[in-house]
Amino acid sequence: MAMTSRQYDAIDESVGIEIKHLHKEHPKLGHDGLLDALRQQNIHVDPEELERYMKRNRITAERYWRPWKWVGLRGSWLVGIIHHRPARRWRLWRK
């Protein structure tokens, strides 16, 4: 019987319940964070299998709150007209 270098636990009902419990406790953790939390609880799961499980059960990390950016406003509305110099290239082979 050949042993692999890494052995992972299968995601069964008990591990699935633990994943959902950890996600409910820490909703901002993504795949990597949940994987680390599971390792701390001595549950070793294949990272790819965890990702598939999370996609299948629609478990996603909440996004951190960020203040609204002024996207789409042109610079001329905020600071006046911006003048850019024309792009010039130096041509050494032509005089």
85 pLDDT higher than 80: no
Other CB atoms within a 10 A radius of the CB of residue 22 amount to 19
- Determine, yes or no, domain membership for 74: no
79 pLDDT higher than 70: no
pLDDT in tens, 38-61: 999 999 999 999 999 999 999 888
Block residue for tokens 């996603």: 60
Give me the pLDDT at residue 51, please.
Answer: 92
Domain containing residue 44 = 13-56
Domain tally for the chain?
A: 1
pLDDT in tens, 7-29: 888 888 999 999 999 999 999 88
- Determine, yes or no, domain membership for 93: no
75 pLDDT higher than 90: no
DSSP string, the chain: -PPPS---B---HHHHHHHHHHHHH-TT--HHHHHHHHHHTT--B-HHHHHHHHHHTT--PPPPP-PPP-TT--HHHHH-PPP-PPP----SS--
- Determine, yes or no, domain membership for 47: yes
